[in-house]
Amino acid sequence: MKLYYSPGTCALADHILLEWIGRPYEAVRVSREERKAPAYLAINPAGAVPALEHDGWVLTQNAAILGYLADLAPDAGLLGDGSPRGRAEVTRWLAMVNSDIHPAFKPLFGATAWLEDETLVAKSKDLARATLRGLFERVDAQLAGRDWIAGTRSIADPYLYVVLRWAKAQGVDLSGFGNLERYFAAMQADPGVRRALEQEGLG
């Protein structure tokens, strides 16, 4: 398997999962400029990461890749407790990270720069941080009494860890969220997480 990534992007979640499932893989670093080049656009026409190449087939979209990797290694138990409700619980939190939390970062990553008014751009970023605090408040409540967001270690955890890294880097107020801090510290100490961070030069 070959994972195409750019350091610190959501592809880090797939990188961590590859470490967790213990399957051989190659991690290919792709710069922002290289993602626009014809060679990479032939792999992913969106010019985005992650992309996973496996047996001559390319899969894109982070949530899809996470699910695929978990299905390749069922013994790792990364899709819940084996029951329909257990899998749905994993999907619930993966969907929240993918569809609610991740997109809320867009103003902080420059999506509102087109406004060309520093005051308006700043307001958009303040609103994004407030929105993100509200979302992380819900996650903090879910983590009360739990080590993992879905109850057991799952594909939602590496993605949640990635957006928590972003939140800390972008000045999102996470004060008072003790469950999140405990969770983040545990993820930081995880051997698979450490290996992925080191490979991406983020250790």
- Say how many C-beta atoms besides its own lie within 10 A of residue 17's C-beta: 28
Which CATH architecture is the domain 84-190 placed in? Up-down Bundle (1.20)
What pTM value is reported for the model? 0.96
Give ranges for CATH 3.40.30.10 in the chain: 2-76+195-199
Select from 3.40.30.10, 3.40.1190.10, 3.40.1010.10, 3.90.950.10 the CATH code of 2-76+195-199. Answer: 3.40.30.10
Place of tokens 């970023």: 125
* pLDDT single digits (tens) 59-69: 999 999 999 99
For 109-145, write each residue's pLDDT tens digit: 986 777 787 888 788 989 999 999 999 999 999 999 9
Identify the pLDDT of residue 95: 98
Q: Let me know: does 90 contact 155? Beta carbons within 8 Å.
A: yes
Q: For CATH 1.20.1050.10, list the domain ranges present in the chain.
A: 84-190
